[in-house]
Amino acid sequence: KATELTDPRIALSQAGEEGFQQLVPKATSMLPRGVEKSQECAHVLMEAFSSGPSFELFVHVPSFNARTIAPEYEGNMVRAYEYHKRVLKLLQWRCSPKRWYLKTPVHTYDIEPLLKVFPDANFVWTHREPQRALSSVCSLIYHFRRAFVNNPEPVYLGHEHRAYWVKALTRALDARERLGEDRFHDVYHRVQIVDPAKQMREVYAHFGWPWPADMEAKIARWQEEHPKGQHDARPEFFGLDPDEMAEEFRFYTERFGL
């Protein structure tokens, strides 16, 4: 009888992952991947055809992306999160978790639609200097797109995602202002790469979660097995001017001391 760790679908997923690695050889060096590792849940939103930024990882679909982030589309994102919830229920049918930890930057844009479906959700918000973060994001997307399109158009990609993240962070901060601080906790990339256990302890303490006795050992093992991702992230390649970005994202960097 198959269990969570012996399910034959793991092998099928592994074959698919190996195929993806052939398409995007640099994927693993930039972002930890694996069928038995934690993965971003943006793919679930893609199945609902409601997350333009997720599809933009692989193909250039500006009109679809613009439609999915338009103000009048918010009701569709609620339906997308309803589908997302159904998928989680299916996944936990026989292997129920104590708590779901969900991760994808796409949630930044849609905090309030998410809360209409998951009203008791809390948020761990990772902060990094936008100039560095955006260069890394564009590098990852560029290599993903190269597997599917002839010309990933790096300069257009940079301008597109720069504009998107200004909107996303503005929306997220507005939502946070309305919702209050209690359900948010801030962590910092610069601290995470030096002392991740310290930040994770603070997350657990903030939300009142018990700290597992073996957690620090697990974090240390993860760090050892997953060295820092390697990005050829040159901002000028994507048409990004660090000085212009510093001014454009000032509303965010000054708020969080970046």
Beta bridge partners of 186: 125
Mean pLDDT of 154-176: 93
Q: What is the pLDDT of residues 114-150, one digit of tens each?
A: 999 999 999 999 999 998 899 988 988 888 888 888 8
- Cβ-contact 136, 232 below 8 angstroms: no
Q: Which CATH class is domain 19-193+228-256?
A: alpha beta
* Helices and strands per DSSP (H, E), number in the chain: 14, 2
Alpha-carbon distance 211 to 216, whole Å? 9
pLDDT at position 67, please? Answer: 78
Beta bridge partners of 127: 188
Q: Cβ contacts of residue 226 below 8 Å, gap of 6+?
A: 32
Burial environment of residue 39 by CB neighbours within 10 A (0 to 12, 13 to 18, 19 or more): middle
Mean pLDDT of 207-233: 83
pLDDT at position 15, please? Answer: 85
Domain ranges of the chain: 19-193+228-256
Alpha-carbon distance 116 to 222, whole Å? 34
Q: What is the pLDDT of residues 65-80, one digit of tens each?
A: 777 777 776 678 898 9
In the structure encoding, which two tokens stand for residue 252, read together?
């965010």
Mean pLDDT of 91-117: 87
3-state SS assignment for residue 117: helix
- Cβ-contact 123, 36 below 8 angstroms: no
pTM, two decimal places: 0.88
